[in-house]
Structure 1
């Protein structure tokens, strides 16, 4: 298996990232931190994942929020 010691997101799926951020902040808090319609208008994990998988800049913002929130 390829080791990535400098990658804090190694082995963490995008679904896990979104789910943990929603559990921590709630949808409203999540939308306040990252102003995206997929988090504000009828949000769901499934619709957010669909958008984030197609939009690289938005995914990077979500990943950065995850790292800054849950860095150990």
Structure 2
């Protein structure tokens, strides 16, 4: 038996470490568009595809052709994801607060 990792094992490790693994460019654009406006995206990344008649389709076409632009958009997406609080913990805390405020008082008889 050898302790050497196979090529498949190395690829799997690389995928686990890549925060963009499994996230499509269309998904990235959709999330960014929902969080920012086209105008704000253009201000943050300064790409003409976000300024002149912006759409998901035209932006995807441009970003697939120009790796330098795609890298900028991916970096903005990673920045956004890192800045968002953990949805699960905050969501659970909000739910518990709402439920305690709405709970009927059952001690009155």
**Which bin holds the TM-score, normalised by the shorter protein?**
over 0.9
CA deviations on 1:20-69 (whole Å, 9 max, x unpaired) are 00100110110100101100011000000000000000000000000011
Give the TM-score, by structure 1 length: 0.93
Higher gyration radius (CA): 2
Instruction: Tell me how far 1:17 sits from its aligned partner.
Output: 0.2
2:99 equivalent in structure 1: none
Count, aligned residues: 72
- Consecutive unaligned residues of structure 1, counting only runs of 5 or more, are none
1:41 equivalent in structure 2: 52
Give the TM-score, by structure 2 length: 0.62
User: 1:58 pairs with 69, 73, 76, which one?
Assistant: 69
Equivalent-residue separation in structure 2 for 1:65 and 1:34 (angstroms): 8
Equivalent-residue separation in structure 2 for 1:61 and 1:36 (angstroms): 9
**Alignment of 1:7 onto 2:18:** yes
Once structures 1 and 2 are overlaid, which stretch shifts more, 16-25 or 1-10?
A: 1-10
Runs of 4 or more above 2 Å deviation = none
- The two structures, once aligned, show a CA RMSD in angstroms of 1.5
